[in-house]
Structure 1
Amino acid sequence: MSQLSDAAKELLNRPLPAWATTVRQDGSLHNTVVWVAVDGDEVVINTAVGRAKERHLSQDGRVSVSVLDPDDAFHWVSVSGEAKLETEGADAVIDALAKKYLGQDTYPYRQEGEVRLTVRITPDHVLYSAGG
């Protein structure tokens, strides 16, 4: 297991779009833009049941999440590890992410009947560049 440095956490905690890479059933890679947070030493993203990330992670828990500082292309962090999916508290997580990224108290794009999932990533590998 690799640890997130304070500087890596600081970058991940900024309201910057991240991208998550999951593994499709055929072994090919799938990238999506995500909102990201840090909870202790875990990286957290959120999705909904039935979406590609949930389907892929249910089959293969390997995931990578990366963030690039738009002000410095050499300041970035990439975290890879094993994902754990949780439904409990997932609505609160997406609402917190909506507050971080949109300044709104609740997630405005929730679909009726949608079941949210928190994806908790325990870092196995952390790559961090402080930039130039």
Structure 2
Amino acid sequence: MMRKFLYYSVILIIALLIESCATVINTTTQNIEIKTNPSNAKIIIDGKKFGTTPQLVNLERGSNHVIKLELEGYDTYETQITRKISIWFWGNAFNGFLPGMLIDMFTGSMYNLLPEAINVELQQLKTEPAKKR
């Protein structure tokens, strides 16, 4: 009787741990490394300032993000970090799909953000030669 109880307890604990698999393993945010050459470029993400490069920024997984890098004397660099469904999201197949998938969808943890790192060689502004009269 005690063995049966222990067996079912272990099964229940395992089921609870894999419930909302991506939320537990992936979490709802992701670190993105941003570097530029030269460094000290302003980082603007979704219109908000995040300091200067190099930096590790923590972003919500639930949506895409627009990254803008600005440095005086250099062209502004703009790119997008996009969300892609994580392999951990499919781990919910082990617990009957629906409960874990719903939790992962609502928390945004069903996604990975790509690229995971941005390393940019900033281009100097091009100056036009003065026109002759």
Question: Is TM > 0.5 for Structure 1 vs Structure 2?
Answer: no
TM-score after normalising by structure 1? 0.33
Higher Cα Rg, which structure: 2
Comparing both structures, which one devotes a greater share of its residues to helix? 2
* More strand, by proportion: 1
Superposition TM-score, scaled by structure 2 size: 0.33
